Structure 1
Amino acid sequence: MEAVRIRTDQAEAGMKVASDVYTSNNQLIIPKDTELDERMITRLRFYNIYGLLIYRNKPQVKLVEEVSYIEMLRSTPEFKKFNRTYVETIRNVEDNFNSVLNGQDEFDIDNLLAETDRILQEGRNGAHILEMLHGIRNYDDMTYVHSLNVSLICNVFGGWLKYSAEDIRILTLAGLLHDIGKMLIPREIITKADALTQEEFKIIKTHSIKGYQALKDQTIDIRVKYAALMHHERCDGSGYPNGFVSEQIDDFAKIIAIADVYDAMTSNRRYRNAICPFDVVEEFERDGFLKYDPRFLIMFLERIVQSYLHNIVRLSDGREGEVIMINKLSLARPVVRCGSTYVDLSKERKLSIKEII
């Protein structure tokens, strides 16, 4: 029988589930081939399951129009509430940044962190926050939007690293302020849709020093200032502005460097669409272990790919399937179940995941 993907609010008693249904914590709640009843549908809503695969057992009847994972996510009241809070927070953060950079005020640290807390309270856990961010990737990626995303990723990252509450607080703030120097770069360069000239790129690269200078006299933790200065440094000495090597780079700057690149690559840009998270993970695996601190990079990549376990993906050959197992030695290449076929992408090197659907 043909399987079709539906939103949870379209589920009806009597429909048969075409694939195992898991919670965000990887708990199986409804096995494949189970016939839904009202109790099970209530359970789906309780666990905030956005959609599921069901069998279309009556081909002549069009049950629903098949929808993508992102469409299912965006249709939920939970996402709509998260999105409203996100937009309000961006506006407030932008106002705070501008008032400080115009010399009208100092950074109100408690107020800035209260803004990020508003969003964090909308999420159930770290994976859920990242899932929500994935749903808003079509927003214009202005500097303060990117800064907010990096701040939220850093908060989740700090939890994964089991940092103290105070260190997570400082890391979250450092993520929010890491790109403050870009506010001091001419807007026509920051927002340019075409490729930057060599001279324009040189100007862009001054943002880390400008950011440090904007923060150096503020009454904030030194690690926040270092993050603004060092988040483009790389452990192999290939970064800027100073070409520091690993032992010269502050740990918070190393963490923010990873979050910064991940968000930039998985976000829509004026000159390209968002890159699939699995492609980003593969890029990190291929070139990242010399540039980024392995202590942080391995943890980050493992947690990122785990957050996509049991998601439906589209492979490079057009087939669709469910991510069912992560390969520890090749994180970007999990095992995907396509119907009755199991595709181990760590062995099928000509195939790859092209899209989360």
Structure 2
Amino acid sequence: MRVHVTDLIPGDTMLREIFNRNGVHVLKKGTIVQLEEISRLLQHSIDYIDIEPREILLSIDPSSETPESLSKVKPHFDQAIDGFSTIFMEAFKTGKFNKSVVDDSFQPVVGSLMGQKDVVSLLLLLNGKDDYTYKHSMQVGMLSYYLATWMGYSSRESYDIGKAGYLHDIGKSKIPKEILDKPGKLSPQEFEEIKLHTVYGYDIIRESIDDKVTALVALQHHERDDGTGYPKSLREEQIHPYSHITAVADVYSAMTTNRVYQSKQQLLIVLRELYSLSFGKLNGKPSHAFIQNMLPNFIGKKVILSSGESGIIIMNNQSDYFRPLVQTSDRFIDLSKEREFAIQEILF
């Protein structure tokens, strides 16, 4: 059965070996086609291929339900969010927290992440408007852990970096709730008060655990390489490497999560913004490692386009990583070329 590449359906089986026009082997006979294989065929400019006769037409939508493995992670996320709530309230009342609660809450999450490579699905699983501060801390801990592993840190170091990310905003427990939850723009005086959460966080962590580096991350996660950050206007070489990592995770989580004063931005749009910030603001090494490792997670995700059409991301464009190739029910849309279209939402 001979079909055009754009008519392939995940589950089709290659009838013959596939070579491109230059004789380079692309796919072997018997390969069961998935979105990755369709993407590879398109990259090699292959138009028609032979497949085994189809018995059943399979759905192209890989996101019709939450994978079972993700469902198993959710209780650990909920436990960590509840755990941070406990830590936060204890810090609010006493100025310190029980260090055992931190590990009891965060260790199970790290254990559940060991077999999870699809970080985008994990972020979608955590999406929600409620309890921003607690969910944000959970996300930053998770993303800091992943980023540390991608950068080659040991499992022990990665856990410590993730834990520092988990605790990075503990100083907000000392910020008045009316400022923290204010729906409108902060006044200059209120913003100065918000900035103090970094100093408060350092003090709370130093009072609670014997870990100066984790305290430094709380103090430095809003510092920027060009010296424009706070609270001490440090420059790149003065900022701890763990703080560079948490800063990237913090910005990405903050920009992709619903907050009382700001709607979340789409996951790919924020990656592009992160790339821009990596030249002078956020440190380039963790920023680029984050982008490089996040992009493959978008392949296969269902999206809603600005045209109202739904489709699936099947390939990242080399010319514009943040505007991928999308397959709808009846066509392919190259967002790097057809710039009148944009992704409005990314779904499971």
Q: TM-score, normalised by structure 1?
A: 0.76
* Runs of at least 4 residues off by over 6 Å: none
**Equivalent position of 1:252 in the other structure:** 242
* Structure 1 position 184, deviation (Å): 0.6
Aligned residues: 306
Judge conservation of contact 2:9–2:60 (CA < 8 Å) in 1.
yes
When residues 238 and 330 of structure 1 are mapped into structure 2, their CA distance, relative to the original with a 3 A threshold, is farther
When residues 344 and 192 of structure 1 are mapped into structure 2, their CA distance, relative to the original with a 3 A threshold, is same
User: 2:317 and 2:302 mapped to 1: Cα distance?
Assistant: 17
User: 1:107 and 1:215 mapped to 2: Cα distance?
Assistant: 10
**Equivalent position of 2:49 in the other structure:** none
Q: Which of 1 and 2 has higher RCO (CA within 8 Å, sep 6+)?
A: 2
**Equivalent position of 1:152 in the other structure:** 142
Residue 86 (str. 1) matches residue 77 (str. 2) = yes
1:53 counterpart (53, 60, 83): 60
User: 2:195 and 2:96 mapped to 1: Cα distance?
Assistant: 26
Unaligned runs of 5+ in 2: 1-6, 13-30, 36-52
Residue 276 (str. 1) matches residue 266 (str. 2) = yes
Partner SS, residue 102 of structure 1: helix
Q: Please show how residues 19-98 of structure 1 align to structure 2 within 5 Å.
A: 19-20=9-10, 31=34, 34-36=54-56, 52-53=59-60, 69=63, 72-73=65-66, 78-98=69-89
Residue 179 (str. 1) matches residue 169 (str. 2) = yes
User: 1:114 and 1:308 mapped to 2: Cα distance?
Assistant: 32
Partner SS, residue 291 of structure 1: coil
Unaligned runs of 5+ in 1: 1-16, 23-27, 41-51, 55-67
**Equivalent position of 1:99 in the other structure:** 90
**Equivalent position of 2:159 in the other structure:** 169
User: 1:167 and 1:270 mapped to 2: Cα distance?
Assistant: 34
Residue 112 (str. 1) matches residue 102 (str. 2) = yes
User: 1:329 and 1:222 mapped to 2: Cα distance?
Assistant: 43
User: 2:285 and 2:9 mapped to 1: Cα distance?
Assistant: 36
Residue 235 (str. 1) matches residue 242 (str. 2) = no
* Structure 1 position 273, deviation (Å): 3.1
Q: Please show how residues 129-144 of structure 1 align to structure 2 within 5 Å.
A: 129-144=119-134
* Structure 1 position 170, deviation (Å): 1.1
The CA RMSD over aligned residues, in Å, is 3.0
* Structure 1 position 164, deviation (Å): 0.8
Counterpart amino acid of 2:82?
R
User: 1:34 and 1:114 mapped to 2: Cα distance?
Assistant: 51
* Structure 1 position 144, deviation (Å): 2.3
Partner SS, residue 93 of structure 1: helix
User: 2:11 and 2:129 mapped to 1: Cα distance?
Assistant: 30
Counterpart amino acid of 2:140?
V
When residues 124 and 287 of structure 1 are mapped into structure 2, their CA distance, relative to the original with a 3 A threshold, is closer
When residues 129 and 303 of structure 1 are mapped into structure 2, their CA distance, relative to the original with a 3 A threshold, is closer
